[in-house]
Structure 1
Amino acid sequence: MASDGYMNEPMCLVEVSPSGSLKLNQDALQILAGITEPVLVVAIFGPPNTGKSYLMNRLVNRRKGFRLASGTKPPVRGMWIWCLPHPLHDAQCLIILDVDGFEAKEQGDQGAEMSVLALIFSSIFLYNSKGTIDQEALEKLRFITKLSDFVQMHSDASEDDTFLFSGLFPEFLWCVRDSELELYVDGFRLIADDYLNSILTTGKDPDRCSVSYCFKKLFPKYKCFEFCQPCAEAGTKRLDEVFEEDLEHDFEMQMERLRGYVLTGQVKTILGGHKINGLMLGKLVETCVSWMSNGQLIILENLCDIVLCKEPIVELDKAVTISKREKKVDQPKMERIVPLTNPSEGHGLYNMDEPMCLIENSASGELQVNQEALNILSEISQPVIVVAIVGLYRTGKSYLMNKLAGKQKGFSLGSTIQSQTKGIWMWCVPHPLQPDHCLVLLDTEGLGDVEKVDKKNDSWIFALAVLLSSMLVYNSLGTIDEYALQDLHYVTELTELIKVKSAGGGDESLEFVRFFPAFVWSVRDFTLELKMNGRDVSSDEYLDNALRLRHGSSETVQDYNLPRECIREYFPTRKCFVFDRPGGKEVMRNMDLIADSGLDPAFVNQARAFVTYVYSTAQIKRLKGGHMVNGRLLGTLAVTYVDAIRSGKIPCLESAVHALARIENSAAVSEATKAYEEQMGKLVQLPTGTWQELSEVHHQCQSESLHLFMERCFKDEGQKYQQELMNAVAEIYAAVCKKNFQESVDKSTAIILELGVPMEDKIKNGSYTKPGGYAVFEKDMEALVKIYRATPGKGVQAEQVLRTFLERKEQLSEFLRQADINLTARTKGLTASRERAEMAEQERKAKEEEERATQQILEDERRTMAEHLRQLREKAEQDRISLVQEHEKVLEQRLLEQESLKQEGFQDRASDMQREIDSLWSQWEDTDSPSFVDLALDTATLVLPGFTKLIPFGAKLAVNLFKKFF
């Protein structure tokens, strides 16, 4: 069993006994309990002997794993689980659920139960079948029409409750194996989805019990993937014994397409959108199996409460990829295979129809940023994955970028000896594999153009491409030899063109690996065989061999080693692709007009592999400290760097981050303050009945606005901007409280004055100055107070206004007592005593009202500080994770470089590097320590604005409200 909650091989999760009872494997639950990351859960279900297990094994890029049945029933039947690290997202876990195939006769019992469990547990549900999709195949999904026999939304649900599941159940993927479907290809996209949709909409019978009706109600999101025969030996040989090179090319491409789609799916959530980790998934499994075994309905609402309330909720997005210092960097990584899809079919992100110049040369020859391009970037609030390409002019850079954009045309392809691209051009398209991410493609001016006047321009273009991108592609022709590496002399100049820190000297090149992009070398028109010493090698081995260093200390050796050392030390990852010539001269001149079918097949496959790699491995652009860059920040970065170059300064990463932090943090304060004010305006109905009612709304709006601020802010040193937000929110809250106070006074005063009109009339006509008038007055006053207190909507100052009114009434009461000659002295005494008691009681109520208001404000201050510290801790934890990942990247690169130096015989250099590695380990351990966040919070300086000083309480605003009364 692997550590960290992962498995070396699958194990049974839910066993179905011969009698049909369900049994849980406690070992599997224990493993799930150790997984604190969010989980992407992929389940597969379908008839037996359709190749489900093989599909799941290939999904995680393994030949073996889930056992292939080969026509025999397994000794243990049920649902099998395999927990693995997610190959694309370090902070997620991939969980595969393989349900054994059940014969048609079993679909009414065990098969239906297992299918329901698979639907509840998964975020992506694969249904596997063979041949074609027709009405007969559709009828095998009959189990979805019986979901209400097992599952309900609420405990008091109606018969139509089943269709409330729409959107809650997983995405449905129908995999058709050994396909007999007659489909066609439109570009790279297979349109099997249209075929499935046509089958589901065949006929007009709205039978609510039909499979097609239930299917479309339950699964608003569904797709279809069709697979050809995997190989000629598929019918006679076990597929896990067939090597990949013997598989059909079309089958491999179809497998890559499915794999890329599944691995970019969303993590598992339950009712309310709450993310699920392994611990919570285990509770989900345990509860569902227990209820089903006891013949109980699975109530999703109760299930959600159990998972969220009965178990501690673990913070999900805080996983660290290296948990112990002893973890080996050379641990095998899962290969990432993704499909070639068309990114222009977007996800609601900004999608440019054609490229636009981002950075150009002015008439005077200076670099400048195109304002129109900045306007476009300012509209992109999603994270950006920035891929830039550099290289000598006339090497076909633009063609590769067009392929990444999923278009035949776009970036200009020249067919003459003149360079076409000038400056840096930008093309923003939705990322084809990562929803809510934008792919920004940067095509740069060709280096080495003989027509250029200012040769320094090339160096700045290269440096800007490095600074702005998260993946840098270097394009060259022929081979990687000494001439090619000398053409890449720009990399040796980077230490003169880029600074990491604004102060201090010394060699900063060791810091470059923290912030530089991944490096890809594409070699065009490659004519050599990939062989060394008589054996076949990969293109990556070819690059590594070309970057090997020579021994010696002569000037010639130093010149030879310098570009190689820079590439090896500066860039965290390296990859190489070699491309055959796409065709003859005529083809080369018209690349943007010729379809792939007219190009050399080897070149087409190499281009596919390149695009696949970029789509699946290019990371989000990040700033120093790990903050994600969106389009708006990318535009500001471009302006900051170009302004530095224009002013004759060296672009500085640290200065750029500080400049961006000032802009973004100020904007974050403004945005969060505006959001708080708008939400308070929408949710608060003044006057509120109690101060607590207003406080609850304030707390909710404050929490949401603070979350909005935390999402956007970064490098808020000393919490300067968070304090600014606290003060702004306090001012708004104080104003709302003051308005709430005044509205209550106004409303209560209006009510009591209106109720007092009849008494005022009686005073004017002398009704209270007649014999017995005082008794009438007392009775009217009691009635007024009773009606006043029963009148709703008076707000928080109701008792204080009544108190002021009664104080004014006391003078009138004394006058009436003196005027009423029929009252005995004893009656006068009793009446006066009763009035004093009433006034004392009213005084007590008014003071209680005032004390409640004061206590509520003190509670508001406490909750405000607690909420700010809570979200500050979360932000600090996120920053810590980013720093850990940053350290890991550098550490991994240094360990690999050290190993390469040892293999090349540079033992002294490897030993010198060990000191740097030890220092990196120390930094990593400090950052990875839980106390890191506590230390960060110790330096936080948040001061409460002091609500109590801003909000006027007491009776002073109501003193003169009744002067005109009587």
Structure 2
Amino acid sequence: METGDAISLLELTPSGSLTLNLKAIQVLSAITQPVLVVAISGPPNTGKSYLMNRLVNRTKGFPLRSGKMLPGWRTWMWCLPHPERANEYLVILDIDGLEGERNENTKPQIFALAYVLSNIFIYNSKGTVDQEALDKLNYITKLPRYVQEGAVDSHREICPEFLWCVRDSELELWMDGFRLVADDYLNAVLLPGQGPDGVSSVSRFLTERFGHRKCLEFSRPCPEAGALRLDQVLEGELARDFQLQTERLRGHVLGVRPERGPGGSVVSGQALARMVEHCVSRLCQGQLIVLEDLYDATRHSVPTVPQGAATDRTMPQPTKTVRIGVPWNMERPVCLIENSSAGELSVNREAVDQILSTISQPVVVVAIAGLYRTGKSYLMNKLAGKQKGFSLGSTIQSHTKGIWMMCVPHPVRPDHCLILLDTEGLGDVEKGDPTNDSWIFALAVLLSSMLVYNSMGTIDQYAMDKLHYVTELTELIKVKATGGEDESTEFARFFPAFVWSVRDFTLDLTLEGRKVTEDGYLENALKLKHGASPNVQKYNLPRECIRNYFPTRKCFVFDRPADKDTMRNMEEVPDSCLDAAFVNQAQRFVQYVYRTAQTKTLKGGYPVTGQMLGALVLTYVDSIRSGHLPCLESAVHTLADIENTAAIQEAAQAYGKWMGERVTLPTETVKELSEIHNQVHPEALQLFMRRCFKDEGQRYQQEFTKEVAAIYADISEKNRELSTDISNRIILDLGAGIQEKIRIGSYTKPGGYSEYEKDMAELVRKYRAKPRKGVQAQQVLQDFLATKQQLSDSIRQADQTMTTSQKEIQAARERAEVAEQQQRAKEEEKRAAEQRLVDERRAAEVNLDQLKEKAKQEQARLVQEHERLLTQRLQEQDKLMKEGFQGRADALQREIDALKVEKKQAASPSLVDVVIDTSILAAPGFFKVIPIAAKVGKFLWDKFW
């Protein structure tokens, strides 16, 4: 199917909603042949549309706007038979210019969509290929936020060819008297910009992601044309070089084969339509487009053009409107914890209820703290992959009040959400209560899995004095509800990783004449002094706290980014205008955070979701507002109650939903219903187990089992009721003739009993032959025969053709038939009861199996936590010994010995073996295993809390 002109495939309206044009999907769905997909993008008014028209020897097709922007922002599509190969189609996607302020939050998603759909991705620009031109292509570095590509070798197999078209070329293609090929020029430009390992830049991204890269230059097409559009210029008036260059582009593009899938598989128009819908759906839900899974989506049915449907040449209707992004794929931060002018903290419930509550994925939480006006927000924006986001102030007044939050898909961890917390600047002179700063710092520690402390200049005693908040944590945080003793030794179990970023660093990284790393610089700054005087103790205290509380430490130093005037508008300044060393340092910092910041966990290693983080925020702030200290143990108990209750509801609803989808009532037998239940129950239990945690005594698991049992009993009852209704209707229908004969007295004449007997026998035969009567079929027949015995006796006694002996024989036969049917009904009920016992046993086995798996997971988390803490303590002991603090090292040895004992106990197989006592598998129901499971849960809690 050919569209005479380009039609809109996607439109981004000025209000920010994305319109997917169903007519365009229908056009694609009608193409059963393989398609070659060419996408072109770039800054506006660079002549993209004209090049695409020339691909098919047309002067018209895509609209040439010459600077006139239509309302909205579109991706245009043009489908034509391939000009050179029969049985193939050419699909051209022309994306409106990427620059400008409109809908900046959605453009990267559309860029990602073009990337995953195309065989050839053309980037069109003017002038030359330099750092400024690369900066304009920064959208490409955001692809990992929307596309999961897998290993480098695999994604190169299915990624498009990258073709850079340089219009009105000013490329310097001469070197040492020789003219370079434009491809070599492009590669020469890209290679110097790669930066250090792990740095993500446009140049590095292009070289790593695109295995095939090409560059074409175009001279000015017609200098004499003035203000005329190119489609208004006669072909003969175009410059000869320009015509040759466009023919070269055409020859290259049309020579590409349409292989797009893994292994060189081809994609048809129908499959492409499905890919478009699949990708847009994933983006709308805030999910990554997984390239390896994308082609599976093409196997489903796709919409087709109805027979005889016309294809409108203009913007078609109807359309469906969807909004790209979900509440937690944010372009701007929101205030999570508000700080009033009076120093009172409160939670912004909209941030919790409308954003965090929608995040069911595990979260990586990075918080930044430090003195005000030290550039914290700039680093947070870099982590979010945005130029703008958290407010960057340029005056001496602090801009951030309270704690602000931005949530984005994690760039390198699939199915994780990256949550960034920008805290109010510490030490603001405008604040009257210094205690308020301590609470802000404590909340940043409690909520994050990585804490970045930001300071200016150097790490000296002044900087340490400003970090006095870390010394106050023992007075602000409780580990156990009972409290009483010094709990600071427990802090390392749940405190975040610590990163110290030093801004405007001007010193050389040298110590005693030798170069040191940034980490070496930090460790030197954290060395302790010998002595017991008050001044020495004051000097050592913040250093001891950092060394003891935080499991890992890292340091980054940053040069000054730019001059004073430039720094006033950092939100508007591209990286190319900043100091190159600072840009590289910021990129190293970002990549380190992406790679090493761990999933936020509770004590015991339980991963935290956005929903759970919201509950923690409410719990901690409520404690502070009520005058109590935030308590880790209490918070986990509260969180466990919330999550486990929600887990019951979610899993029970899923069980009911899945049963409704898989069961067709009435079932022919109880076993048929039971088999479906025994498929669905383990799946629902697994869903419950995945979310629940710290279920002491399996109290919530019992509740879940009761919920499922109640739902199953309700379904079983409905199964019986429906079977009874159907069976009764069948008997009524089959017995209508008998009822009519009774009404007109057919059975009261001589020989009437013989006729009645034959009719009843035929009714029973036909009834038993009817399928899908359900589990109550035998019981309904028994009840029917029992109710008809008095009538049968009356007809038999009234039949004067029968002798007394014959009547007695027939009466005995009827009683035997009723008794036989009664026995059948009893056997059916017995089989149902036996099946219920089998179901209970299977449920017990499933519960034990999943309890075993859950216990193993919890044991692995405990062991991992002990290993991490033990490693940190051993490293700290080694440093103390090297610094000459043998007494401190000996004291730490006692803690290390205790940790080794705890680790050995945590790794003991008996913890799991207790749960899996094989004799329990013979128990008829789940509740008989609860006492043992309860002992295990209580032991784990008491021992390791």
The bucket for the TM-score relative to the shorter chain is 0.5 to 0.7
The reply on whether 1:669 has 2:648 as its aligned counterpart is yes
Counterpart among 360, 366, 373 of residue 394 in structure 1: 373
Structure 1 counterpart of 2:333, one-letter code = P
Confirm or deny that 1:656 pairs with 2:635. yes
Q: Is the 8 A contact 2:797 2:807 kept in 1?
A: no
Structure 1 unaligned regions, length at least 5: 1-132, 136-165, 222-263, 274-344, 948-966
1:699-778 pair list within 5 angstroms: 699-778=678-757
Distance change in 2, residues 1:267/1:591 (3 Å): closer
Q: Match for residue 893 of structure 1?
A: 872
1:681 aligns with 2:660: yes
Equivalent residue in structure 2 for 1:465, among 417, 434, 444: 444
Counterpart among 387, 406, 426 of residue 405 in structure 2: 426
Structure 2 CA distance, aligned partners of 1:471 and 1:499?
A: 20
What is the aligned partner in structure 1 of residue 937 from structure 2?
A: none
Distance 1:566 1:943 in 2: 55
Relative to structure 1, is the Cα distance of residues 873 and 403 closer, same or farther in structure 2, using a 3 angstrom cutoff?
same
Deviations 1:904-952 (A, max 9, x none): 12222222212211211121122222222234678x99995999xxxxx
Q: Report the Cα distance in structure 1 between the residues aligned to 2:213 and 2:758, rounded to whole angstroms.
A: 81
Contact 2:449 2:495 (C-alpha < 8 Å) held by counterparts: yes
Give the stretch that moved more between structures: 348-357 or 384-393: 348-357
Aligned AA for 1:421?
T
> What is the match of residue 928 of structure 1?
907
CA distance in 2, matches of 1:763, 1:217: 69
Task: Tell me how far apart the structure 1 counterparts of residues 562 and 259 of structure 2 sit (CA, whole Å).
Answer: 57
Question: Which of these residues, 809, 822, 828, is aligned with residue 843 of structure 1?
Answer: 822
Counterparts of 1:273-672 in structure 2, within 5 Å, are: 350-374=328-352, 375-672=354-651
Q: What do the CA deviations read for 1:270-313 (whole angstroms, capped 9, x no partner)?
A: x999xxxxxxxxxxxxxxxxxxxxxxxxxxxxxxxxxxxxxxxx
Counterpart Cα distance in 2 of 1:518 and 1:895? 17
CA distance in structure 2 between the aligned counterparts of 1:455 and 1:404, rounded to whole angstroms: 29
Bigger CA drift: 919-928 or 538-547?
919-928
Show the counterpart of 1:188: 201
In 2, distance between residues paired with 1:722 and 1:878? 17
User: For residues 723 and 909 of structure 1, what CA distance do their matches in structure 2 show?
Assistant: 49
1:944-963 CA distance string (max 9 Å, x none):
5999xxxxxxxxxxxxxxxx
Alpha-carbon distance in structure 1 between the residues aligned to 2:349 and 2:690:
27
Are the structure 2 counterparts of residues 172 and 582 from structure 1 closer, same or farther at C-alpha, using a change threshold of 3 Å? closer
The answer to whether 1:865 aligns with 2:916 is: no
**Counterparts in 2 of 1:203 and 1:472: CA distance versus 1, 3 Å:** same
Say which of 776, 781, 784 aligns to 1:797.
776
Verify the 8 A CA contact 1:637 1:660 in the aligned structure 2: yes
Per the alignment, residue 112 of structure 1 pairs with none
Query: Identical aligned pairs, as a percentage?
Result: 59
Q: 1:925 to 1:584 in 2, by over 3 A?
A: same
* Structure 2 residue matching 1:723: 3-state secondary structure: helix
Give a deviation string over 1:500-548, Cα, whole Å, max 9, x none: 1111311100110010000001111111111122221111111111111
Residue 406 of structure 1: SS of its match in structure 2? coil
CA RMSD across the alignment = 3.9
**Counterpart-to-counterpart distance in 2, 1:212 and 1:787:** 59
1:943/1:755 Cα in 2 relative to 1: closer, same or farther (>3 Å)?
closer
CA-CA distance at 1:180 after TM superposition:
4.4
Deviates more, 1:556-565 or 1:506-515: 556-565
- 1:196 to partner: Cα distance: 6.9
How far apart, in 2, do the equivalents of 1:210 and 1:575 lie?
Answer: 42
Q: Is the 8 A contact 1:346 1:431 kept in 2?
A: no
Aligned to 1:173, the other structure's residue is in SS state: helix
Contact preservation (8 Å) 2:406, 2:419: yes
Q: Distance in 1 between matches of 2:260 and 2:694?
A: 58
Cα separation, 2, equivalents of 1:597 and 1:469:
32
Q: How many pairs align? A: 672
Moved over 6 A (4+): 166-170, 175-179, 183-187, 192-201, 204-213, 217-221, 264-269, 345-349, 940-943
Q: Provide closer, same or farther for how the CA distance between residues 909 and 455 of structure 1 changes in structure 2, counting only shifts above 3 A.
A: same
Find the partner of 2:265 among 205, 209, 214: 214
- CA drift at 1:583: 2.4
Q: Confirm or deny: 8 A CA contact 1:347 1:435 kept in the other structure.
A: no
Q: 1:180 to 1:824 in 2, by over 3 A?
A: farther
Deviations 1:177-208 (A, max 9, x none): 99848478899344576867999994399889
2: distance between equivalents of 1:511 and 1:929? 22
Listed as ranges, the gaps of 5+ residues in structure 2 are 1-118, 122-148, 163-180, 194-199, 215-248, 274-287, 298-322, 929-945
Q: Is the 8 A contact 2:378 2:390 kept in 1?
A: yes
The amino acid that maps onto 1:908 is G
Q: Is the 8 A contact 1:347 1:430 kept in 2?
A: no
Q: How has the CA–CA distance of structure 1 residues 650 and 267 changed in structure 2, closer, same or farther, with 3 Å as cutoff?
A: farther
Measure the CA separation in 2 of the matches of 1:845 and 1:201.
Answer: 80
> Quick one: distance in 1 between partners of 2:622 and 2:475?
17
Distance 1:843 1:865 in 2: 33
Using a 3 Å threshold, how does the CA distance of structure 1 residues 217 and 569 change in structure 2: closer, same or farther?
farther
Closer/same/farther in 2, CA of residues 267 and 911 from structure 1, 3 Å limit: farther
Change (3 A) 1:752 1:134: closer
Say if 1:476 and 1:524, in contact at 8 Å, map to a contact too. yes
DSSP-derived class of the 1:505 partner: coil
Alpha-carbon shift at residue 213 of structure 1 (Å): 6.7
**1:610-636 Cα distance to aligned partner (Å, 9 max, x none):** 011001000111112222111121122
Shift of 1:216: 5.0
CA gap of 1:199–1:566, structure 2 versus 1, over 3 A, is: farther
State the 1:892 CA deviation.
1.2
Q: 1:750 to 1:460 in 2, by over 3 A?
A: same
Compared CA separation, residues 841 and 171, structure 1 to 2 (3 A): farther
Cα shift readout 1:246-279 (whole Å, capped 9, x = no counterpart) = xxxxxxxxxxxxxxxxxx999999x999xxxxxx
Check 1:926–1:679 CA distance in 2 against 1; reply closer, same or farther (3 A cut).
same
Find the aligned partners of 1:398 and 1:814 in 2 and give their Cα distance.
95
User: Does 1:820 pair with 2:799?
Assistant: yes
Quick one: distance in 2 between partners of 1:574 and 1:717?
Answer: 35
Q: What is the CA–CA distance in structure 2 between the aligned matches of 1:834 and 1:503, rounded to whole Å?
A: 80
Do the aligned partners of 2:519 and 2:555 also contact (CA within 8 Å) in 1?
A: yes
Amino acid at match of 2:611: R
Which letter does structure 2 place at the counterpart of 1:373?
A
AA matched with 2:458: T
How has the CA–CA distance of structure 1 residues 134 and 863 changed in structure 2, closer, same or farther, with 3 Å as cutoff?
Answer: closer
Where do 1:28-47 residues align within 5 Å?
none
Q: CA offset at residue 750 of structure 1?
A: 1.6
Cα pair 2:619 2:635 within 8 Å, conserved:
yes
Query: How far did residue 212 of structure 1 move?
Result: 9.9
Q: Distance in 2 between matches of 1:946 and 1:746?
A: 35
Equivalent position SS for 2:254: coil
Contact between 1:723 and 1:943, CA under 8 Å: does it hold in 2? no
- How far the C-alpha of 1:869 sits from its partner, in A, is 2.4
Q: Which amino acid aligns with 2:661?
A: K
The alignment's TM-score, normalised by the length of structure 2, stands at 0.66
